[in-house]
Chains A and B, each alone.
Chain A
Amino acid sequence: MKKRVVLTFPKQTIEEPITYHLIRDYDLMVNILSAKVAPNEEGRMVIELSGQKEMLHNGIEYLKGLGVTTQSLAQDVIWDEQKCIHCTACIPLCPSHALSVDRTQMLVSFNSDRCIVCGLCLKTCPYHAIEIRF
């Protein structure tokens, strides 16, 4: 089972090496999709966890116990094909090529599996075709 979660860290630093514990204690695969953590600021991290259902649940409980807020990212970035006019303005900004163009048709498409939820495309799309939903 796979699950994408947004972790929000409290301002004070968490001393525990959380990825290490998630891997060792809960036997989870941890894939860091994006992270913004700086000292004395609220940190934000998007991770993909895969492993057994029960372990996944326990791992998330463990994070909550540390004061980390978790939000599921089951539906993360939504690209609305009807609203997209295929201008390609978002293409140079997307670091993971989740948004890409077929250069012969000049049509844009979105592959959510590649999306790392960095949010860069949101401010770029002039047509409200991209939304982040939690």
Chain B
Amino acid sequence: MPKTIAEINERIKKGDAVVVTAEEIIDIVDKKGVEQAAKDVDVVTTATFGPMCSSGFYFNFGHSKPRIRAQKVWLNNVPAYGGLAAVDAYLGATELPEDDPTNTIYPGAFKYGGAHIIEELVSGKDVRLKAISYGTDCYPGKEVETIINLNDMNEAVLFNPRNAYQNYNVGVNCSDRVIYTYMGVLQPRMGNANYSSAGQLSPLLNDPLYLTIGIGTRIFLGGGIGYVVWNGTQHNPCALRGENKVPKRGAGTLAVLGDLKQMSPNWLRGVSMTGYGVSLAVGIGVPIPILNEEICRFTAVRDAEIYAPVIDYSTTYPQRESDVITEVNYSQLKSGKIIVNGKDIPTGGLSSYAKAREISGILKEWIQKGDFILTDKVASLPSSDSGISLKPLRETTPQ
């Protein structure tokens, strides 16, 4: 008998729901079989914690006296986008301070940026706000400079246009020199291979066809509660999939949103990628209601069944060529070495499996305690039958 989310929520409220993590479900399905597991288990919790560049937050900082129509806005000398209403702005995670030397002294350190400000704000720290304007009759103010913290802001909302990538590349470097990429420091002649997914714990790898995760899904976001609000940018559901329907390439993505004031520096961390830039590590946990056997089978996916492409970040990737050197699975990646062309290559992660495991446990506890009720999606994400394909930029000469 298939279950409904309403029935599962009733059990959650009574404290009777059976909640397990995406790791635990693997053993349960092994021992009991899918049919029984789907009956016994109500919710599977999935999670991920890693750098997600397409992140940021919008905020309303309140009206100064006299009022200002803030045209340009900075927090700690990092520009925020002011092209919104008078005292609204958006700070992107990858934005750098005005005076950052970037890669002029190669490789740049990128010690500080928008992501670090987000981490400081959720740590309760003060930041310096500066805004300038041209002055209008209704907003005569031309400059304002003050100290502000998260409590002072009327709203502060984390809004990440692309998070929780469903699978990702494994980066290697086939050239003769060290390269500095968003996949980390890559040593020459395939000296290391870096991956970035929680594999069997990762949300969209446990619901590969987006049967339950959709617009309106309530999630753990940065330590608080958030929602899936849309598909993420570069959502590519028609990417190559295995027989188990799990994508073998970067595929689906999520746009997520939540109240920054609830969040914590444990789960929102500034990232400095040497020679590349700044990013934000975001902790995300997504519950999957076990409504039927198919959904249950999907959540029982294990690392050895999830494949990722090994890509050369010295030539193929930057030149937008699509050569995949080989495919490896997450069990191999997490063992510490993969074999490519007969050569042992040590592996490093960018996404933290330990932290993902912790988040899946916290979300499980929230649900068991009745503090976190599941939502039904209000609309589905485009799936493998959508015909969507990623368009590269068509570069034409402007007239």
Contacts of B107 in A (CB 8 A): 123
- Report how many A-B pairs have Cβ atoms within 8 Å: 78
Given A107-B354, A124-B184; A92-B272 close (CB under 8 Å): no
Contacts of A88 in B (CB 8 A): 347-349, 352
Contacts of B193 in A (CB 8 A): 92
Q: Which residue of B is nearest A101, CB measured? A: B336
User: Quick one: which of A89, A92, A103, A105 contacts B350, CB cutoff 8 A?
Assistant: A89
A20 at the binding interface (Cβ < 8 Å)? no
B56 at the binding interface (Cβ < 8 Å)? no
Report the interface size for chain B: residues with CB under 8 A from the other chain.
Answer: 36
B346 at the binding interface (Cβ < 8 Å)? yes
Contacts of B345 in A (CB 8 A): 92
Cβ-defined contact, B336 with A87, below 8 A: no
Interface of A is mostly: loop
Query: What 1/0 flags go to B318-354 for Cβ under 8 Å of A?
Result: 0000000000000000111000000001111111111
Given the complex of chains A and B, what is the CA–CA distance between A106 and B192 in angstroms? 18
Given the complex of chains A and B, what is the CA–CA distance between A103 and B335 in angstroms? 7
Contacts of A92 in B (CB 8 A): 187, 191-193, 345-348
Cβ-defined contact, B192 with A93, below 8 A: yes
Given the complex of chains A and B, what is the CA–CA distance between A103 and B50 in angstroms? 18
B345 to chain A, nearest CB (A): 8
B97 to chain A, nearest CB (A): 16
B357 at the binding interface (Cβ < 8 Å)? yes
Cβ-defined contact, B184 with A86, below 8 A: no
Cβ-defined contact, B271 with A126, below 8 A: yes
User: Quick one: which of B184, B346, B354 contacts A126, CB cutoff 8 A?
Assistant: B184
Cβ-defined contact, B351 with A123, below 8 A: no
Q: Which residue of B is nearest A122, CB measured? A: B274
Q: Which residue of B is nearest A124, CB measured? A: B185
A106 to chain B, nearest CB (A): 4
Q: Which residue of A is nearest B180, CB measured? A: A123
User: Quick one: which of B194, B346, B354 contacts A105, CB cutoff 8 A?
Assistant: B354
B329 to chain A, nearest CB (A): 15
Cβ-defined contact, A127 with B192, below 8 A: no
Given the complex of chains A and B, what is the CA–CA distance between A45 and B94 in angstroms? 37
Contacts of B185 in A (CB 8 A): 89, 93, 123-124
Cβ-defined contact, B272 with A126, below 8 A: yes
Given A90-B348, A91-B348, A126-B51; A106-B187 close (CB under 8 Å): no
List which B46-82 residues lie within 8 A (CB) of chain A: 49-51
Cβ-defined contact, B272 with A86, below 8 A: no
Q: Which residue of B is nearest A128, CB measured? A: B272
Interface residues of A (CB under 8 A from B): 85-93, 101, 103, 105-107, 123-124, 126-128
For this complex, 5 residue pairs linking A to B, each with C-beta atoms less than 8 Å apart, are: A86-B352, A87-B352, A89-B349, A91-B336, A91-B347
A87-B352, A124-B348 provided; 6 other pairs, C-beta below 8 A?
A85-B354, A86-B352, A92-B192, A106-B357, A123-B107, A127-B269
